[in-house]
Amino acid sequence: MAKLRVGVVSPEREIWSGEADMVIAKTVDGEIGIMPRHTPVLGVLVEGGVLTVKRGGGEPDLVAAVHGGFLSVADNEVSILAEVAELGSEVDVARAKNALDRAQASVEAEMAESDAAALKRARARLRAAGEEVG
Amino acid sequence: MGAQLRLLRRRIKSVKSTAKITRAQELIASSRIVKAQQRMQAAEPYEREITRAVSGVVSNTASVDHPLTTAKEQPRRAAVLIVTSDRGFAGGFNANILREAEALGGLLRGKGIEPVPYVVGRKGIAWHSFRGREMGGQWGGFSDNPSYGNAKEIAGALIAAFSDEDGIDEIHVVSTEFISMLTQEVAVKRILPLEVVETTEKPETPLPYFEFEPTAADVLDSLLPRYVESRIFATLLQSAASEHAARRRAMKSATDNANELIRVFTMQMNQARQAEITQEISEIVGGANALADAAAGKE
C-alpha cells in the first residue's frame, strides 16, 4: 500500500518528517483522518489539538500537541503547518501540569481570553504526552 | 628618551588594544553567521509549505476577494517597514538600508502616497527619532536573534493598521537580503496588498483541486496573516544573518587597518630611536674632537 509522506513544520524548525500509514488531526470542523490517496484538503487546525501519526510497521505512533495552524494534503503528501508544535515525547509533563493548574485557576477567577488559550494548550500538551486530562 | 619616541610608543599600545577588540568582534560575528544561517534554513520548510498552501487556495478559488489581496484604487498612506540592526560596528549596513528607505519614501511621495515608517532595530529608531520623524511602530532588541514571536508582533501591528479604514493602504519592506557570506543586498519589497508569489519553477502537474475545511474563505482568512508573518520572519532572519556578515567584514577591515597602523608606527618609532642614537654619537664625537683640538692648541 502506498504510504503518506508526512512533514510537521513550525516556523522555527522542521519538527518531524517521515512516512506513515495514517494521520489523524483535529480541524475546526472536527477530527479528520488522512489515509493514502486522500483527496487534496486544506484545513484549519484547532488551537490545542492533538496530532497522531500512525507510522505502521511496528513503529510506535507519533503524537504531538499542535497549537493552531494548517493541514495540507496533496498527492500523498501531508504537511502540518503548526504555529507551535511539540512532540509528545518532548513534553515536560510536570511543567505542563503546573501550567494547566495555573491556567485553570486564572480562568475560574476571570474569563480572560489568553488564559483560556493557555488552558487549551496545556491540555493538548498533556494529552500528547499520553496523560489523562479531565 | 625623546618626546616623539614616547608619543609613538603610546599610540602603538592604544592601536594594539583596539585591534584586539575588533578582532574579538570579528570572531564573534563569524561564529554567529553560521548560527543565523542555520536558523534561516530551519525556517525554510514552513515558508515553502505555506507558500504552496496559499497558491493552492488562490488557484482554486476563481476570484480571490480578500481584503489582504485587493489593492485600493487610490492608495494614500503606505507603511514602510525598515529592518535595521540594534548595534553599529557593522560598516555601512544601516546606512545602506536607511538610504534605500529614504529613496522609497521619495518615490511614494512622488505618487502622492504618504510613507509611514515602521522601524525594527535600535539604530533605525535612533535615526528616525533624532530627526523628529514620527514612526507608525518601533521594535528593538532582537535584531541579531529574532524569534517568531517578534515577527508575529510586527505582522499583527501591520495587518491591524492595514485593515483599519483610515490606516494604511500598502506595506513595503526595506531590508537586507542574505545572498551569500560575501554578498548582502538591500531589497525593497511590497508585501501587502499581497501578490502571491508564483514559484519560479513551474510544478510538473497543475495544483490539485483542494477541499477546504471549513470553507475556502475561512481558510484564506487564517492563512493569509500567517503567510505575512512567515514572510516577515524570513526577512528578519535574513537581516540578522546579513548583519553578522556585515559586522564580520567591517571588523576584519578594522583589524587589518589597525595592524597596518602598528606596522607604520613601529617603523617611525625605530627611525626616531635611531635618529636619537646617531645624534648622541655625533655629539660625543664632536665633543671629543673639540677637546682634542683644544689640547693640540695648547702645545
- Looking at the complex, does the CB of residue B209 fall below 8 Å from at least one CB of chain A? yes
Domain boundaries defined on chain A: 4-88, 91-128
- Taking the C-alpha atoms of residue A132 and residue B125, their distance in angstroms, rounded to an integer, is 49
Cell numbers describing residue A78: 501531508
B172 and B189 Cβ atoms separated by less than 8 Å: yes
Structure confidence at residue A55 (pLDDT): 84
Is there a contact between A32 and B213 if contact means CB atoms under 8 Å apart?
yes
Is there a contact between A70 and B53 if contact means CB atoms under 8 Å apart?
yes
Find all residues with CB under 8 Å of B120, minimum gap 6, and list them: B81, B82, B83, B84, B138, B139, B140, B143, B154, B236, B239
- Which residue of B lies nearest to A41 if distances are taken between CA atoms? B211
Q: For the residues A41-69, what does the mean pLDDT come to?
A: 84
Structure confidence at residue B196 (pLDDT): 55
CB contacts of A34 in chain B (<8 Å) are: none
CATH fold for the domain made of B27-251: Pyruvate Kinase; Chain: A, domain 1 (3.40.1380)
Is there a contact between B210 and A40 if contact means CB atoms under 8 Å apart?
yes
Q: Using one digit for the tens of pLDDT, what is the confidence trace for A64-119?
A: 888 888 888 888 889 888 888 888 777 777 777 777 777 777 777 766 666 667 77
Confidence band for A30, pLDDT divided at 50, 70 and 90: confident
CB contacts of A38 in chain B (<8 Å) are: none
DSSP result, chain B: --HHHHHHHHHHHHHHHHHHHHHHHHHHHHHHHHHHHHHHHHHHHHHHHHHHHHHHHHHHSSS---TTTPPPSS--EEEEEEE--SS--STTHHHHHHHHHHHHHHHHHHTT-EEEEEEESHHHHHHHHHTT---SEEE-S-TTS--HHHHHHHHHHHHHHHHSTTS-SEEEEEEEEE-SSS-EEEEEEEEES--PPPPSSPPSSPPPPPEEES-HHHHHHHHHHHHHHHHHHHHHHHHHHHHHHHHHHHHHHHHHHHHHHHHHHHHHHHHHHHHHHHHHHHHHHHHHHHHHHHHHHH-
CB contacts of A69 in chain B (<8 Å) are: 226
Domain boundaries defined on chain B: 27-251
Is there a contact between B214 and A44 if contact means CB atoms under 8 Å apart?
yes
Sign of the CA dihedral with B35 first, then A10, A73, and B56 last: negative
| A 64-93 → B contacts, CB under 8 A | 69-72, 74-75, 79, 81, 83
Structure confidence at residue B249 (pLDDT): 92
pLDDT tens string, chain B, 299 residues long: the values are: 577 888 999 999 999 999 999 999 999 999 999 999 999 988 888 888 888 888 777 766 655 567 777 777 778 888 999 999 998 888 888 999 999 999 999 999 988 888 999 999 999 999 999 998 888 888 988 888 888 889 989 998 988 888 877 778 888 999 998 988 888 888 888 887 776 555 444 444 555 677 887 777 788 888 888 888 888 999 999 999 999 999 999 999 999 999 999 999 999 999 999 999 999 999 999 999 999 998 888 76
Q: What pTM does this model have?
A: 0.83
CB contacts of B207 in chain A (<8 Å) are: 74
Structure confidence at residue B63 (pLDDT): 55
- Strand B77-83 vs strand B114-120: parallel, antiparallel, or unpaired? parallel
Structure confidence at residue B195 (pLDDT): 65
Q: How far is A72 from chain B (nearest CA, A)?
A: 7
Structure confidence at residue B253 (pLDDT): 94
Is there a contact between B218 and A28 if contact means CB atoms under 8 Å apart?
yes
Q: Which of B207, B213, B226 sits opposite A41 (nearest CB)?
A: B213
- The architecture that CATH gives domain A4-88 is Sandwich (2.60)
Q: How far is B224 from chain A (nearest CA, A)?
A: 11
Residues of chain A with pLDDT > 90: what percent? 0
For testing the chain A interface, which of B35, B37, B44, B46 should be mutated: the one with the most A CBs within 10 Å?
Answer: B46
CB contacts of B223 in chain A (<8 Å) are: 42, 44, 70
Strand partners, B77: B114
Contacts of range B128-137, beta carbons closer than 8 Å, 24 or more positions apart: B136/B79, B136/B161, B136/B168, B137/B161
